[in-house]
Amino acid sequence: MGFESLAKIEKEFQTFQILNENGEIVNKAEEPDLTDEQLRELMKRMVYTRVLDQRSISLNRQGRLGFYAPTAGQEASQLASHFALEKEDFILPGYRDVPQIIWHGLPLYKAFLFSKGHFEGNQLPEDLNILPPQIIIGAQIIQATGVALGLKMRNKKAVAVTYTGDGGSSQGDFYEGINFAGAYNTPAIFFIQNNRFAISTPVELQTKAKTLAQKAVAAGIPGIQVDGMDPLAVYVVTKKARERALNGEGPTLIETLTYRYGPHTMAGDDPTRYRSDDLDNEWEKKDPIVRFRTYLQAKNLWTEEDEEQTIEQAQKEIREAIQKADNAPKQKVTDLLGFMFEDMPKNIEEQMEEYKAKESK
């Protein structure tokens, strides 16, 4: 009667890996054709982003940043996937996915202004194909489907890429988005960064599915689970998904198995209340930066000096960017009202005049 079909489906979703936690190639046939310089550049971005995360946490604690969602542990999932994209591709990030849009072209100081709640943080360069980080969990999935459909209708050789966490895959918007994307064969790539906990809820309590990648089956689109701590594997599956989309083969759902070392956000979350030391220690052994460093050192492509120079560069650029963000003009009520409407209603006009008078004193 078909009751055995679920088990058959789940067996198809084996974790794709190229580089194991010891930095060894275990899937030579799938090793990407990246140049030595490209490998070094990816490593630089990962180290830089780890420094950015550490510094952002400190700035948040000092009260110099507002909302912040830590990223340490997810560098391979975020940056190796972005490394497979092109400038013309459109990124729709979640609130933890600021690193991808920085490397896509968002000035660092604007990322800081976004965190501070300053409107200038969402004033994007005209040639930058991104949306601001989405705070509503899962909403970016539907938006990405719409952007991808627009790219298809305009015959653009580009894809729309979006990211959410394991918690986002439990939202209604997630199912609606991937279903619509499949039905209209849009050039979209959907990432579920499965870091095991939607804030404090373990993934095992969110779904009975053995993998999150298998949720693609109901939408009629391919799904793949990948070792999200393995930058080479993440790069390869993203590149293949992009090629599929550009060839008119439709969207792909990618589940990256990863881990966030810090709290869900800096807004009071305490991960020690729901994560054990044993689990933390287990995933620290899989650290994507340690793994990739070992791989590159074996190929004589990365040295301690390279790492120190990258850290120094990151620290310098972060200092300059936060100073620029700190020096941004304080936003006024009239700024916020002015951006709200193209054709301003009468009651807002009255409020504008009232606040202009107050601000001029």
Pairing status of strand 160-165 against strand 188-194: parallel
Which position among 260, 275, 291, 293 bears the catalytic label? 260
pLDDT of the residue at 198: 93
* 296, 302 contact by CB (below 8 A): yes
Q: If DSSP codes are grouped into helix, strand and coil, which group holds residue 44? A: helix
pLDDT at residue 338 is higher than 90: no
pLDDT of the residue at 297: 98
Mean pLDDT computed over 298-302: 98
Share of the chain above pLDDT 90, in %: 93
pLDDT at residue 66 is higher than 80: yes
- 50 sits in which H/E element: helix 36-61
pLDDT band with cut points at 50, 70 and 90 for residue 1: very low
Which position among 40, 184, 196, 274 bears the catalytic label? 274
pLDDT of the residue at 283: 96
274 among known catalytic residues: yes
Q: Mean pLDDT score of the chain, rounded to an integer?
A: 95
Mean pLDDT computed over 181-201: 97
User: CATH fold of 10-265+281-330, please?
Assistant: Rossmann fold (3.40.50)
pLDDT band with cut points at 50, 70 and 90 for residue 361: confident
pLDDT of the residue at 2: 61
What separation in angstroms does the CA of 11 have from each of 1, 90, 210, 221?
A: 19, 33, 9, 17
* 129, 87 contact by CB (below 8 A): yes
Which position among 264, 275, 291, 293 bears the catalytic label? 264
Query: Phi/psi of residue 307, each to 5°?
Result: -70, -45
Whether this prediction's pTM lies above 0.85 is answered by yes
Mean pLDDT computed over 275-288: 96
pLDDT of the residue at 4: 64
pLDDT of the residue at 340: 83
Mean pLDDT computed over 172-193: 98
Contacts of the segment 276-279: beta carbons below 8 A, 24+ positions apart: 279/196
Of 328, 275, 271, nearest to 64 (Cα)? 328
Following CA atoms 120, 94, 130, 43 in sequence, which dihedral angle do they give, to the nearest 10 degrees? Answer: 100
95 among known catalytic residues: no
* 198, 167 contact by CB (below 8 A): yes
Mean pLDDT computed over 236-255: 98
Residue whose token pair is 């994307």: 181
Summarize pLDDT for 3-56 with one digit per residue, the tens: 667 777 788 899 999 999 999 999 999 999 999 999 999 999 999 999 999 999
| Domain limits, CATH 3.40.50.970, in the chain | 10-265+281-330
pLDDT at residue 132 is higher than 80: yes
Q: 308: burial class by Cβ within 10 Å (0-12, 13-18, 19+)?
A: exposed
Distance CA 70, CA 350 (A): 41
Neighbour count for residue 297 (Cβ, 10 Å): 14
235 among known catalytic residues: no
Summarize pLDDT for 95-125 with one digit per residue, the tens: 999 999 999 999 999 999 999 999 999 999 9
Mean pLDDT computed over 199-211: 94
